[in-house]
Structure 1
Amino acid sequence: MTGLINVVGGAVLDSLAEPGRLLVARRTAPPQFAGMWEFPGGKVESGETPEQALHRELLEELGVTVRLGAELPASSASGWPLNGRAAMRVWFAELADGAPRPLQDHDELRWIDIRNREEVLGLPWIPADFPIVEALLEALPIQLKPGLLH
């Protein structure tokens, strides 16, 4: 036991097979993170696997069920460090049922084009999520459109 709070996040894509857009959520609290963007998700509760927690959190926060894909590899087995007390594991996911709505902890959801790095990285992300966003962009098999190569 590491003593860390285990957190899970969903990198919800429009398609696991051919991803083009990522669903992001804007926080309403706590005050230092209000108005910043993040991956939806939350804490793993006692007796839950991380995957079960992610399914529960996405249903509670967004009103959706998802199909989970691969986990986004982190440098540590406990996941991506959020602060000195918590680490987050992130899974790729796609919608299985429901239309995403901001039900808890968020006031806005937005689909962003993952082929546009400037749009993705230009959002005011929660600082701990920013390295995860960069790793996600590197991990995705993004097809460049002709004419985008320099």
Structure 2
Amino acid sequence: MYQDCVFINGTAQCGEACEHYTELNDNWLSEYNINGNSYCNGNYDSPKGWYRMFVGQTSAQIPETCVQDSRCGSYDHLKMTQPHPTQYNQTVTRYLCYTYGSNCYCYSSQSVTVKLCLGDFYVYKLQRLPGCYTAYCAGNDLSLNL
């Protein structure tokens, strides 16, 4: 079985991504959060690693469409520019597009690794974000076409 490792504070943390991930379940990250554009307390400096997103108790995913203005507690939103994987245990590299406010124009992008796990959920190998007012949004419109 493939083991993936990330380094956290100089120590290797290894394991199968679908079993060893961090839950990302902050309500302000929801694309349905309309409290908008005021969140900045340093949580963006989370370590690199595998994450599973939730909105409430429901598995969530990074949206593949533009996020409305003043959502996810940020000015800058990240949307996936290509579809999520559709085969179980499939790991793919996708690009996330930075969009600002209600403008859906992609002004910058970064890569992300995504895996579809048994149990119909995705895990993401997230990178550090550049700073305040940028967020990985989470929505529960799961695009699982299995």
Assess same fold via TM > 0.5: no
Return the structure number with greater strand share: 2
TM-score (norm. length: structure 2): 0.28
TM-score by length of 1: 0.27
